[in-house]
Amino acid sequence: MDRVLEVMRGHQRVPSGSREFKELTKRDAQTQLAHELEGLLATTVDDETKRSVEQEFQGFKRLFERFLLDKDSTISWDRIQKLPENAVRDHSTLKEPASEQLHAMLNKLVVVKLNGGLGTSMGCHGPKSVIPVRSELTFLDLTVQQIEYLNKKYQVDVPLVLMNSFNTDADTQKIVRKYRGLQVKIYTFNQSCYPRINKESLMPIARNCDVENDIDAWYPPGHGDFYESFKNSGLLKKFLEEGREYVFISNIDNLGATVDLSIADLLLHTDEKSPEFVMEVTDKTRADVKGGTLIQYENKLRLLEIAQVPKEHVEDFKSVKTFKFFNTNNLWVKLSAIDRVLSENSMNIEIIVNNKSLDNGLNVIQLETAVGAAMKSFEGGIGINVPRRRFLPVKKTSDLLLVMSNLYSLQNGSLVMNPERMFLTTPLVKLGDNHFAKVKEFLARFANSPNIIELDHLTVSGDVTFGRGVVLKGTVIIIANHGDRIDIPAGAVLENKIVSGNLRILDH
């Protein structure tokens, strides 16, 4: 009897140290997760789907294990080192490549656009890349125009690769058919599809692998999934066999992320050993304080995101003086290095834990990663401080106002700043969420795009509409309080003005 009690005590968890308890619960969670994933895998409809899902689940299990270990999620603030002298090169110091080098150089390049996002935050259905942004042309139209122009001008064959998610793939496949007659080869692959996890039980909420019929149970795990999914798709191997050397990665909604010949020259025609990873950064302004930045840490250049910053140092992180640059998410990565890092299983990307509440009230977590955070896994990484024109993201309708305006002209799919603009910076625009957040509402409030060549700052809040030919200069603030309405008349010129109250001009 005493022996039995002894054995029973051996299995009791309470007396064990808290570290041992945590280790046991982690092992339990991993074992239970593996069991749940096996059950999900059994619901796949055919062998091909099963093989594909099994491959993705392997990636998810590794991510989940790293999440449980909770390593590297925050950094030790006092161990951040000063950036070495040549860690960030200034774009203006790069040379233009010789014209006779361009053909061979560009044929070593692959362009990848991250195309996994939906346009729901701007009130649109389907992929964000199909929202019209300029002259009825979409993000995707402009991207294809840019690459086709490059291929025609230099007689090269730069491929365009779209990384879709299960949310955007079907719609994107229909749309890319219209580009078949153009001089650009388009490839697509899907990033992984991972199960959302119940916050309490840490187990998947999905009951089967029929994603379409249970869409809330699944999610795409952020663009850090690019590397593994790119390799799994077979495209990494294909491009290496073709002799391609670098991939240029950027967000589809960044209209400034065009192929930069000076950066390509640095990578492909350098006397020194070419860096395996290049991150384009740009000068931080007060509007960019939350953007990730470059730091030197443990003798390596790496990306620091606000989520990794200890709470007591968040204000330090936001300081424009301390951290002068932020990440544009325009990245240049050596293909052979991606292959090596994945083969060695040495890819180390911090996990972003994204908490969400579903419509049914269930609290879930999504484990995500960011593509730029892989920088520390590569050798010889550098930053390049690029002009602001290479960072023109369209996240909100306020960004849309800028890219639709006379601030830019369109040249071969690229936006070019109007030479009449006296400043290289773009105006700071804030539009009220209640009346301007959705693209359809936003467009209905402007008879046409206002002239903003001399605008510094625009704030608009409430029920406000703009007539045709409005000119905005300096700082303009227009506030219609609840119940009020302001109609800015056609042809109005507002310079350093505050408009509030009611203003309506009626036809007679």
The tokens for 379 are 């050798």
CA distance 372 to 387: 19
Secondary structure (3-state) at 132: strand
What does the angle CA 176 – CA 177 – CA 180 come to, to the nearest 5 degrees? 100
With a CB cutoff of 8 Å and minimum separation 6, the contacts of 213 are: none
The tokens for 99 are 């014209």
Give the residue ranges of the annotated binding site for UTP.
Answer: 128, 191, 222, 253, 395
Secondary structure (3-state) at 134: strand
CA distance 49 to 230: 18
Q: Are 380 and 302 in contact (CB under 8 A)?
A: no
In the residue annotation, 22 being an active-site residue is answered as: no
Q: Determine how many CB atoms are found less than 10 A away from the CB of residue 435.
A: 18
Q: Where are the alpha helices (DSSP H) in 291-427?
A: 314-318, 335-343, 397-404
CA distance 117 to 456: 30
| Strand duo 363-368 + 382-385: pairing | unpaired
CA-wise closest residue to 194 among 1, 30, 55: 55
Give 127's Cβ-side CA count (13 Å radius).
28
Q: Where are the alpha helices (DSSP H) in 79-208?
A: 99-106, 139-154, 169-176
Per annotation, catalytic residue among 26, 199, 395, 430: 395
Q: Are 334 and 245 in contact (CB under 8 A)?
A: yes
CA dist list (Å): 247 to 165, 270, 327, 332, 338: 19, 17, 17, 6, 10
φ, ψ dihedrals at 271, nearest 5°: -75, -30
The tokens for 132 are 């019209």
DSSP secondary structure, 425-462, as one string = SPPEEEE-HHHHSSHHHHHHTBSS--B-TTEEEEEEES
Give the residue ranges of the annotated binding site for substrate.
Answer: 223
Give the residue ranges of the annotated binding site.
Answer: 128, 191, 222-223, 253, 395
DSSP state of 394: -
CA distance 263 to 267: 6
CA distance 338 to 128: 28
Q: Which residues are catalytic?
A: 395
